Structures are given as structure tokens and as C-alpha cells.
Structure 1
Amino acid sequence: MDTGSHLLFGTTLTGLAMLHPEVSADPVLFQAMLTATMVGSQAPDFDTLARVRGYSTYIRVHRGVTHSLPALFVWPLVLALPIAWTFGVWAHVGLLLAWIFAAVGFHVLLDWFNAYGVQCFRPFTRKWQHLDVLSIFDPFLFALHAGGVLWWIASGTNPGLLFVAVYAVTAGYIAVRAAHHLRVVARVRHQLPYEGIYQVAPGFHWFRWQFVVETEDCFYTGHVRGKHVEVKDIYVKEAFDSIVEASKSTDGVRAFLQFAQRIHVSCSAGQDGYVVKWRDVRFWYNHQLPFGVDVMLDRDMKVTGYSFGWKKKAWAPPFV
């Protein structure tokens, strides 16, 4: 999910940790716990530093090894020891380890539930996992946890039981969204006549979803509004020719192919050569495919350059 939500959930995990009498009674341990859960909630996304080495490196690294099964155990060790040393709470280092593990695990779990995906089962598989249940920012979860923090500040009381309720509602909400997602997928399958792979992704609105259907020959994209299913665009799959194959030599295309799942390729000719456009149809929006790689080649099919990333404004959908 987004950075702000992860930091907020780190704060509410501290409130939950105050069920331990020693955390609620010791201001120094409380500060150490707050630091531990907030940093732990953000730690898997430290891989965004790879952006300085270019977008291709970022795509290869982001939500990969830092979100893997071994990372669930490495992050607590990396973070708990310096935090215990900084605050002088060595006697409670085990408690810090446990709550950092919870913070990291909750981060990875939430990322698994959205549409971008995460390689959370590495090293057993590098396959991208995504449950397509939650958007990158969920207004309900943010409001729920922010409301809990405001109540905590206003009341000044031990928030342990309050956040037991908050996390119980969180679990129930995610379960309801998951069940709703299954119903929407079934509805789209029932109303459309295509044989293929169906993927339905959430939006900010509870009853608005968008889908991609991949068949042998085409991609169909569309919306679900309540019970209404509508196909918006059709993208015909084009055969890979020698020009498309030549574009695979670029680092950007190699990184794209490691991540993308619904791949559409198009090739156009110009006065100076060719442009090959690789797109991931999962992230369509408003009749456009904004995520992918554009590779420029000359008439001899030699790569002259490429651009990789989002062809949209930072504040424009889709938010993944």
C-alpha cells in the first residue's frame, strides 16, 4: 500500500502493543516500540532506493527480496538490535523483535492484497502474487486507523483494547472485500462470453472495479459498476516479428518482461525507423495503457533508445 498508510498502521500497532503492561508503563520502552513498529512497517519499501540506479533496476528490485519470506525474519534482527541499543531497552529486545515481525508481516500482507503484486514467496518462487482485493490506498482502512489514533490522543487512555477492536474490524473488512471480489469475478465471467484469464482489480469505490480478460487473440478491458459489466476496449494481440524481437535487447524490455503479466506489443513505422511499445494491460485506464516501455529502432533494426515507466501524471489513475 502507500507509504502514508504503512506508517499509520505502524502507529496503530504500537497502540496494540500497549496491551503489554511494560510498554504502557515505561515511556522509554513506548518510544522504542513506536520507532520499531513505524520503521518496521516501512522497512520492506526501503528497496525504493534502487530508483537512483534507474527505473529498470527499480522494477527488478521493488517488492522483491525485501518482501520475501526470509526478509520477514531478517528485518526484525536488523532493526531490533540498534533500536534496543539506542533506547537502552535490551531487556525487552525480544518484545521489539516480535512487534517488528508483526509490522513487516502486515506490510507484506497488505501488498499481497493489492493489484501491483509482490514476490512474497521467494526463494521458493519468483512469481508475482496479487489478490486484487484492495487498492493501493484504501480510504476505509485509512479512516478507521486514523480515527483510532485520534481517539487515542484525545482520550489519553491505554489504547490496547481500542486497537484490538480496530484490527478486528480491519480483518473483517478485508475478508468482506475478498468475498466481494470473488463475486465480482464470477459476475464478469457469467456476463462475458470469452474463454480466457479473468482479472478484476479494485478502485477506491467499493462497488467499482475494472477488469482485464486475456484470450488467445485479444485483451478485453472494461468496468464493473454495481451489477453492470461493460467492455470498454479491445486490444488485439500482434505476432512478434523481427522488429519486436530486436527490441528485446534493451535492459528496459528485459526488466519489463520480468514483471509484466498481461503483455501487449505494438509496432509502428516512421520516417527514421520503428517504435515498439510494450504495455501491461493490467494497468489500463481511460482507454489508455500507461505503463510500459517504448523502444526506438532505426531502419536497420538497431536500438537507438528507449523510455520506461508510466505515461501519465503522478497524481492521475491508476494508483498502483
Structure 2
Amino acid sequence: MGIALGGIATIDPVIQQNPIFFTAVMAGTIIGSHAPDFDTILKLRNNAVYLRHHRGITHSIPLMIFWGLFISGIIYLIVPDIPYINIWFWTALAVFLHVLVDIFNAYGTQAFRPFSRKWVGLGFINTFDPVIFSAHIIGFAFWLLGASPVKTFLIIYFLLVLYYLKRFWQKKVLERKIRRSFYNVEGIFTSPTISQKIWRVAITTKDKFYVARANDGNIQIVDQFERTPVPDTEIMRVAKTDQNVDAFLSFSKVYRWEQTEYDAYTEVRFIDLRYRSKDHYPFVAVVKITKDLQILKSYTGWIFSEAKLQDKLLIEDL
């Protein structure tokens, strides 16, 4: 999207007529379109820090303003003859577009900080959407063949707006069908797949959690669980103090819990129900607690097999 936006920027005659200005703007839109995800570096620290902060403050209103000013300012220092307002406008637009697009997938962002810390994830565009990706590849091909990047990408983006509206409408139709099919629905969490016809769905009712798969509008329940509140026990209070569990609970919108007793420790597990894949729930938080309420080991993140999860939780002295 950063490259496409750089192409659209040639609508400005100042940018179109000067290769140095065009290169500067292209650098701004490419860097700006990635800047909010610079927090990915937090994964080098640990999953808990990454989970708590990814798509958080870096996608907030103050940081959106900062990224545009900072990146365009650096470019202006390197190429001082460029018109600053032009480079700032297109860079800031690239940053804004990144955050806007992130709102439409299931993961979401905290885009309205500092006014609200609520995660906004509308859940009707896949994190990797082949239609959007292919549209850009087609646009680049036409550009390389000599077509105007302005006309090409304005047409593509107009069509993508229609595509977004179509996906939004599909989600609303699915939600209406779910509300007609289930009693006491309190929450519906949709997660589109790469296929246009298939959606993952987690449904919260007064008494149960349902995990479903919608295929061309046909809703199939693949799992259901009793909706049991997290008990106010010593074990659970200790579990919630763990940084991995705390990060998971701050992010997850719909989850269930399990508590398993072993000879040397108790395992508490929190399982997000939105991301079921191949009979497995990959997004979890797990903590092992001794009988005297000491935390032995914990983990949170996406992991796709029980064996790998237990490797992460391996306690050598046991």
C-alpha cells in the first residue's frame, strides 16, 4: 500500500516532475506504511510485552501524528530542498491508511488511544487478504507496463472500497442469521479466512460458548463449552498476577479456562476461542503454580501443537 500511495502521490505536479521529490515521497509512504508495526521489535523481549503493546500505543492517535512528522522530518533533513508539506502529507496518509486497514481484521488495534483503550477489530477482512494483495500486484504490473499510477490505483482503491463494503455486508448477514439461530446471544466474534465463503465464528450466549464455522452462510457448530465464570480462588488470583496471563486477558475478547491438578503443581490455562485451526486453539496463556502458590513457569502466544506448548513450559527441576 505504501508503494501504491507513492504512485498516487504523482497526482501532485511538484512530485511528478522531480525524480528526487518522487523518491523522497516514495520513501515516506513506504516507511510510513510500516511505521506503526515497528513495535514488532518487542517480540525480542518476550511474548507478554509484545502482546500487550503490539498494535497498541504505536497505532494510537498521538503516535499516528508523530510518525508522520518524524519520518517526513528525517527525509527533509536528508533532502532539504523538497517541499516539506508535500512529503509530510503523503507520509502521514500512509501511516493513517495502515492503522485504518488494521481496524478491519479480527486482531484489531487500540487506534482510539488515549481516549479509549478498547481494542477495535471489526473482523471482516483477513489479516492477509488475497483479493487486496492481488489487486496491488495487478496495479504494479499495469504501472510497469506504462499505465498512469494515479489512474490505476485510484480505480483499484475505488474497487477495494466496494470490496470492503461487500465483506462488511457479508458479516452483517452472518450475524443476523446467528442471532436468529441462537438464544440469548451476547457476543459474536467473526474472523474471515482466505476463502471468501468461509468464516470462523465464536459466539457467546448467556450460558455457553459456541465455536462455529460458516461456509457460504451455513453455520456449523464445531465446539461448545459451558460458560463458567473464572472463580475467585487463591490459584486464580495468583494466575492473574503472572505477566503472560495478564497480557492475554487484556487482549482476548472471548476465552474459556481450565484448571488441572498435578502432583507438583496446578496448571491454569486460558484459551482464546476466536482462532480455532485444524481442531486446535493456538492462542493461549498457561501458568504452572506450585502447591504453596509460587509461579513455576508460564507462557502466552500462538502455538500450534500441545507438544510444542509443553516444551515452552518445561520445568527442568521437576
Please, what TM-score do these two structures have when normalized by structure 1? 0.91
Alignment partner of 1:75 is 2:84: no
Quote the Cα distance in structure 2 between the aligned partners of 1:86 and 1:43.
18
Residue 271 (str. 1) matches residue 271 (str. 2): no
Matches within 5 A, 1:1-320: 9-90=1-82, 92-155=83-146, 157-238=147-228, 239-240=230-231, 241-312=233-304
Q: Matches of 1:175 and 1:39 in 2, distance apart?
A: 28
Q: Give the AA of the match of 1:202.
A: P
Structure 2: gaps (5+ residues): 306-318
CA distance in 2, matches of 1:136, 1:246: 34
Q: Output the CA distance in 1 between the equivalents of 2:252 and 2:227.
A: 15
Partner Cα separation in structure 2 for residue 143 and residue 201 of structure 1: 20
Q: 1:242 to 1:288 in 2, by over 3 A?
A: farther
Shift of 1:284: 2.3
Whole-Å Cα distance in 2 between the matches of residues 248 and 312 of structure 1?
Answer: 23
Q: What amino acid sits opposite 2:126 in the alignment?
A: S
Deviation at 1:167, TM superposition (A): 1.2
**2:312 is matched with which residue?**
none
Which position in structure 2 is the counterpart of 1:316? none
Deviation at 1:124, TM superposition (A): 0.5
CA contact (8 A) 2:286 2:300 kept: yes
Contact preservation (8 Å) 2:285, 2:298:
yes
TM-score, normalising length: structure 2: 0.91
User: Conserved in 2, the CA contact under 8 Å of 1:233 and 1:287?
Assistant: no
Contact 2:183/2:205, CA 8 A, preserved across alignment: no
Amino acid at match of 1:79: I
CA distance in 2, matches of 1:182, 1:108: 22
Paired-residue identity, %? 29
How far 1:279 sits from its partner (Å)?
Answer: 1.7
In 1, Cα distance between the equivalents of 2:148 and 2:88? 22
Structure 1 gap ranges (5+): 1-8, 314-320
Q: CA deviation at 1:194?
A: 4.6
Once residues 250 and 201 of structure 1 are traced to their aligned partners in structure 2, the CA distance between those partners, rounded to angstroms, is 28
Aligned equivalents of 1:153, 1:25: Cα separation in 2 = 18
- Residues 253-302 of structure 1 deviation map (CA, whole Å, 9 limit, x = unaligned): 11112111112110011122211001221222233221121101122232
Task: Give me the whole-angstrom Cα distance separating, in 1, the residues matched to 2:81 and 2:68.
Answer: 15
Structure 1 residue 51 displacement after superposition = 1.5
Instruction: Say if 1:10 and 1:34, in contact at 8 Å, map to a contact too.
Output: yes
- Asked if 1 retains the 8 angstrom alpha-carbon contact of 2:184 and 2:206, the reply is no
* Deviation, structure 1 residue 217: 2.8
